[in-house]
Amino acid sequence: GAGVSQSPSNKVTEKGKDVELRCDPISGHTALYWYRQSLGQGLEFLIYFQGNSAPDKSGLPSDRFSAERTGGSVSTLTIQRTQQEDSAVYLCASRLYSNQPQHFGDGTRLSIL
């Protein structure tokens, strides 16, 4: 079946612009996660959704970052007033039940000029 789909696959933008990243989870998966992978760093947790609610936003690095999920499916991660340090690969994952592994998309590579 279809896996986690993320768009765009690549995004180049100028410092100070806002960007929106999209994640389509595996159909029926109730939980959705956003992570960030910077060069030389491990994957860093950003936010977790269960349905449309976000019980854990502890990884969002600043108030410039926000995310929402609608209809228990698609999620968007928004970064306002982008900075060069926001350059990274943003990965989305979803899972079905709490004892199931998280399955990842191929990410959006974000480059801030």
Partner 1 sequence: EDQVTQSPEALRLQEGESSSLNCSYTVSGLRGLFWYRQDPGKGPEFLFTLYSAGEEKEKERLKATLTKKESFLHITAPKPEDSATYLCAVQAQGGSEKLVFGKGTKLTVNP
Dihedral sign, Cα of residue 9, residue 51, residue 97, residue 56: positive
Give bridge partners of residue 53 from the DSSP assignment.
50
Does 107 contact partner 1 by CB under 8 A?
A: yes
Pick the closer one to partner 1 by CB: 19 or 105: 105
Show contacts with partner 1 in window 47-106 (CB under 8 A). 48, 50, 55-56, 58-59, 91, 93, 98, 101-106
CB 79 within 8 Å of CB 65? yes
Minimum CB separation of residue 15 from partner 1 in Å reads 25
Q: DSSP string covering 2-40, please?
A: ---EEE-SEEEE-TT--EEEEEEPPTT--EEEEEEE-TT
One residue of 25, 33, 65, 73 binding partner 1 per CB under 8 A: 33
CB 102 within 8 Å of CB 96? no
Pick the closer one to partner 1 by CB: 9 or 80: 9
CB 46 within 8 Å of CB 38? no
Minimum CB separation of residue 95 from partner 1 in Å reads 9
Binding site for partner 1 (CB under 8 A): 4, 31, 33, 35, 40-45, 48, 50, 55-56, 58-59, 91, 93, 98, 101-107
